[in-house]
Structure 1
Amino acid sequence: MTNSPDAVSVEVVRSHAGLRAVAVLPWLPTLWLGMILAISFVEAPLKFQAPGITIPLGLGIGRLVFTALNIVEIALALATVVTLLIARRTSAVHESRAGGLTWSLVATVGVLLLKVVWVRPLLNARSDVIVAGGDPGPSLLHSAYVVLECLQVAALIVVIVFAVRLLLDAARAHALTARDTNSSPTADAAPRDREETTR
């Protein structure tokens, strides 16, 4: 198989498991991206505009929602990593595309870990103080979280682009393999054999 990213190998998919993995791969980060956009950039800012909402109540709801989101993000990250490993082990995918997908996925997971391990606990501690009636003072934590979310969105878009390219390569190579199989000498010999038999 050539290492050129523009060349499509006729041996991209070696097994049905590999083909299914490549087919599923773009959907996992797409779902992940959609959840971040819906919750972080739509639900979170609109929540405090609801009639009768208070800051402690909004913070309590936000804490529950973002905790659930982070759990789902971790599950989707694990599912994406496992699917990529299956695709790479059972399919002769372009190493350049698979490498790009791998590194962009590493960046995405790295940002997720920063959010879950570093920023979220600090934000939860601030919300505890506010809910208890205290004043934790000014902080840049919310701004840091927004920056990390934007970085994660950008990284996920790159992951999706590479995953779609892998899928297109796999589909193209699968079609080439099927065409070569149908036009092989053994496939051409069968009709001739049947014709000779009828004579």
Structure 2
Amino acid sequence: MKILTANIFWVYLGLLLGVSFIATPIKFKAPSLMLPVALDVGRVTFHYFHKIEWCFVLMALFGAIWTKQPLVIGLSILLVVILLVDGLYFLPKLDQRIDLIMQGEVLTKSWLHKGYVVLEISKVVLCIVSGVYMQGRM
């Protein structure tokens, strides 16, 4: 079960990197993709990915509890908290901004995107620390 739990963190890490730090930023480099469309695609992507993240985080938490790893239980609970903040605060607020942009409004800069990115980076760090720790316990 320890190796399974470690692998859950590694697969989740790969998904995080692929979605949040590769595929999403690259789409904004496509000159034919207008900003409102790119933002709408991003919105759909992140809402769908958020559901997938819950599956991985809950599996990881279950694995940490099953294998009695207090540190990883704590780190997994931090991931749960981050997902709650993402889903209950950041995604709805960012959605509101996307709606306004799609209606043609020009918005001033906001800290919301940077805050969301900080949480994404935090998830990456938590996955790495948890995966390494679980591998060291085998």
- Both structures adopt the same fold (TM-score exceeding 0.5): yes
Candidates 28, 49, 56, aligned match of 1:69: 49
Separation in 2, partners of 1:104, 1:29: 11
**Aligned residue-pair number:** 138
2:6 is equivalent to residue 35 of structure 1: no
Tell me the equivalent position of 1:100.
71
Between Structure 1 and Structure 2, the one with more helix by share is 2
Unaligned runs of 5+ in 2: none
Deviation (angstroms), 1:70: 0.7
Tell me the equivalent position of 1:137.
108
Q: Which has the higher contact order (CA 8 A, sep 6+)?
A: 2
Deviation (angstroms), 1:72: 0.5
Candidates 107, 120, 125, aligned match of 1:149: 120
Separation in 1, partners of 2:60, 2:6: 9
Rg (Cα) greater in structure: 1
Separation in 2, partners of 1:22, 1:153: 19
2:49 is equivalent to residue 78 of structure 1: no
Please say if residues 59 and 127 of structure 1, whose CA atoms lie closer than 8 Å, have aligned partners that are also in contact.
yes
Deviation (angstroms), 1:35: 0.8
Q: TM-score, normalised by structure 2?
A: 0.92
The runs of at least 4 consecutive aligned structure 1 residues that moved more than 4 Å come to none
> RMSD value over aligned CA atoms?
1.4
Candidates 82, 93, 98, aligned match of 1:111: 82
Identity score, percent: 28
